[in-house]
Structure 1
């Protein structure tokens, strides 16, 4: 799965995968020489998969909202132009707790909110109790905040942090950089009205520890998040949240970067404010 209130704060949020490994070309670096591809039976992969399952179980405690009434718009062969083209609306200029806020009260605003909220929920800040609570306060409808806090507190335990390779308190071990980022690829509103919407967000995620001899290297995964949103107090807020695997593309033959390059990239490349 968080904080100042400046316009660039959304870049601080980031959010796992499968690998086909071969012997590294450079010894001592779990990143160097490895190619991302199909499945591997390595212990690190098993750990990451376990983490994903636990996160899904923790967050998806509520029913999915809405129905699939909008599915009739599907062409069967390719998406409508409107579903992939930018709306032309400007990104929001305000933030709440470092997360973009002040979205439009229409379908594109709901999709933009869902994309930005997916980034926050998939960020490294979710592994810190105080930062996680701040994220939930900013994006969850007030009546559901307590439920989300309880469920996630039960998931983000010391044992859970150890499984990811973190210290008990959710911090990265000395010499390592923890990576947890979610990058929305596209959004789809299955239902939408002036006061409620159900939005699916197709995402790519990164999770792991970047560092020499890491046993939990950063891996990639693909998943779809479904959010039921409610318009309340002048903005969109999450009522329910669920997640499922895929759609996942065929893995390419890109050579994995070194641990140093991965850590440097995470530190130097900020995130985006997503607008439909």
Structure 2
């Protein structure tokens, strides 16, 4: 596995912060004298794990849906993050950013701690009808400790039969389609129901990834990752949700989705009927 500079930086940063109150309380007795070197030795044992994380790549997915969570997952010391695709060829996103797989559907680990699916537009619709991809998700999702998605990736999980009876979210303009997958449509930037965690649109992937970092390590670790990323958004505009966007902007955005939603519903209904016949 290629060394991850950010993980090394996280270790070094944590060691340098060994005199801070939260790390001192978590790692060593409060009377101990701290140095950078013994800070490395006294990091909490559970800060290093052995997680196997599988992140799906497919043509036409939205790159930020993938890259945001990937940044957070790759900060988990000891974890191995797999970029999974049908072949080892680079996968081109809907913004023409190409991402390189590290393994294939056939070679990916059988047991995953996190199974993650990004969303997209036309690429998502194609993925919702890709039998090999859906079979992979159904198989790995049946055993994964956490089954997760961002944006319309939840519709792909739904097509694989992994959200029936679960509360879930998606991009706000497609969220109602989840009902056709048997899911319980739920508003929220990150929605957790048992071992299903779904994120809202695109940028919510950062929140989902950071949520999982906290669940797999602890709050102090997650806060360190957040600070290293300087993740403290202050957007120049306040149109990031349908509640804060102007009526004109919301109407224009909603007008982009009816055909996508119609096709997504058709795909989900077709999969449901197919499972019933079988």
Shorter-chain TM-score tier: under 0.3
Q: Say which structure, 1 or 2, has more relative contact order (CA 8 Å, 6+ apart).
A: 1
TM (normalized to structure 1)?
A: 0.25
TM (normalized to structure 2)?
A: 0.25
Higher Rg: 2
Q: Whose helix fraction is larger, Structure 1's or Structure 2's?
A: 2
